């Protein structure tokens, strides 16, 4: 790979510096593994502060704090007697370094037509072009899903891959519903690559793949704010735009959710208030008669979560959900590649209580028998910002797990 000169790199960085949030002085704090007694307090804190990863009993919590928030969060941890450390003392330099690397890679390693890039993170416009190129180049098996427009006017698309057999069962994968979780999108792109190349996979099922479920937020995370999570639709608080799209689905919407507009998990003004979420949810309902597997790909946590997020009470087919996720199926297939151990857990007990989430909607409203959220590996300064060098290892180890899951579900 040809290296850019320092002068060119400096020009690229300065060209977008004015718009890009610096995160200068922001810290990333990491707690010791949490106790059951601490979890209720941490769950309440997570409604106000930006917790990363998957805090849970026996696992540490990671939280990003501004210079103003740091003493408040530290004092709260001290009151709870939760020991913690400063994982990143100043996030600003790391954000700048990663942005400079990304700009350099975009110039030195441009995407080739009809080819997904796995040596760098692709921007929304590149991903959308790749979807159309794949459909244009494979008209007998690929068709573009016209899902509609985002609040910001971006037309967003998924892809259907099928051999055209009538009455075929269907499987669904979506990625990047949380904007900053860039590592999820290459997983969806890898699924597209594999299914296009292998007719036997299309004989198994019709495949629906949505690489970017939150186009406005994803685009904004590249242009303005690396750690942006939500949509970009304004709220009643002009200083706090955006809704958490994974709390906006029409299933137990707002049950116990916060009404703080600035919260990272603000659920919106009503179920399906976000046009992107409504488009996605309604499409899932349209294909629900044939849909047997729903998978939302997130990062991070190395977990395979199954419904429900609002209760730890087991769902009727819990044994099948666990068997498909673990045993000889998905988690074992992932571990066989490089030894990464994914755990398989109920969403409420493994993550935290959630309402209006996409997998619960697919399971509870769409009657999709197998519904999961995959939390990928962590990376970078605190988990959400893995380097580009991590893309290929993650997609290489996760794809066998996805395939094993599909094969198990269709066989059972």
- Cite the active site residues: 375
Q: Which two tokens stand for residue 41?
A: 């307090």
**DSSP state, 298?**
E
Q: Alpha-carbon distance 205 to 281, whole Å?
A: 20
DSSP states along 250-267: SSSTTSS----TTSTT--
Residues β-bridged to residue 158: 145
Q: Alpha-carbon distance 110 to 183, whole Å?
A: 18
CA-nearest of 334, 348, 327 to 376 is: 334
Q: Burial of 286 by CB count in 10 Å (0-12 exposed, 13-18 middle, 19+ buried)?
A: exposed
Q: Burial of 238 by CB count in 10 Å (0-12 exposed, 13-18 middle, 19+ buried)?
A: exposed
Q: Alpha-carbon distance 144 to 208, whole Å?
A: 10
The CA-CA-CA angle for residues 268, 313, 48, to 5°, reads: 35
CA-nearest of 354, 353, 356, 335 to 344 is: 335
Q: Which two tokens stand for residue 233?
A: 């639709």
* Cβ atoms 176, 219 nearer than 8 A: no
* Cβ atoms 134, 115 nearer than 8 A: no
Q: Alpha-carbon distance 411 to 231, whole Å?
A: 37
DSSP states along 369-393: SEEEEEEE---TTTSS---GGGHHH
Q: Alpha-carbon distance 399 to 189, whole Å?
A: 10
CA distances from 63 to 45, 210, 254, 342, 394 (A): 10, 29, 24, 22, 23
């Amino acid at each position: 790979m040809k290296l850019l000169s320092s002068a060119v790199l400096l020009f690229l960085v300065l060209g977008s510096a004015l718009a890009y949030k610096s995160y200068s002085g922001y810290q990333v704090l990491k707690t010791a593994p949490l106790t059951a007694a601490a979890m209720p307090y941490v769950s309440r804190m997570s409604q106000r502060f930006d917790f990363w990863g998957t805090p849970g009993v026996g696992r540490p919590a990671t939280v990003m704090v501004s210079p103003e928030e740091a003493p408040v969060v530290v004092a709260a941890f001290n009151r709870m007697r939760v020991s913690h450390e400063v994982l990143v003392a100043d996030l600003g330099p790391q954000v700048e370094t990663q942005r400079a690397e990304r700009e350099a890679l975009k110039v030195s390693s441009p995407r080739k037509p009809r080819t997904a890039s796995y040596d760098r993170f692709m921007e929304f416009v590149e991903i959308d072009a790749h979807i159309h190129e794949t459909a244009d180049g494979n008209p007998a098996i690929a068709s573009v899903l016209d899902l509609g427009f985002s609040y910001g006017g971006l037309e967003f698309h998924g892809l259907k891959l099928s051999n055209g057999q009538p009455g075929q069962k269907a499987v669904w994968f979506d990625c990047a519903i949380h904007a900053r979780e860039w590592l999820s999108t290459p997983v969806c792109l890898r699924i597209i690559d594999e299914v296009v190349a292998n007719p036997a996979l299309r004989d198994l099922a019709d495949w629906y793949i949505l690489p970017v479920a939150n186009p406005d937020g994803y685009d904004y995370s590249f242009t303005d704010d690396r750690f942006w999570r939500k949509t970009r639709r304004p709220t009643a608080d002009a200083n706090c735009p955006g809704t958490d799209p994974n709390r906006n689905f029409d299933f137990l919407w707002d049950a116990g959710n916060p009404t703080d507009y600035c919260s990272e998990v603000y659920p919106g003004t009503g179920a399906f208030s976000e046009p992107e979420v409504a488009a996605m949810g309604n499409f899932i309902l349209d294909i629900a008669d044939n849909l047997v597997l729903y998978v939302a790909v997130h990062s991070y946590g190395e977990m395979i979560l199954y419904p429900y997020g609002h209760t730890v009470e087991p769902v009727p087919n819990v044994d099948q959900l666990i068997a498909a996720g673990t045993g000889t199926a998905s988690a074992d297939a992932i571990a066989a590649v490089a030894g990464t151990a994914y755990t398989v857990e109920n969403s409420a007990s493994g993550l935290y209580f959630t309402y209006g989430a996409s997998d619960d909607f697919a399971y509870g409203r769409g009657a999709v028998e197998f519904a999961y959220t995959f939390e990928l590996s962590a990376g970078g300064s605190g988990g959400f910002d893995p380097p580009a060098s991590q893309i290929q290892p993650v997609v290489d180890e996760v794809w066998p797990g996805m395939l094993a899951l599909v094969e198990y579900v269709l066989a059972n």
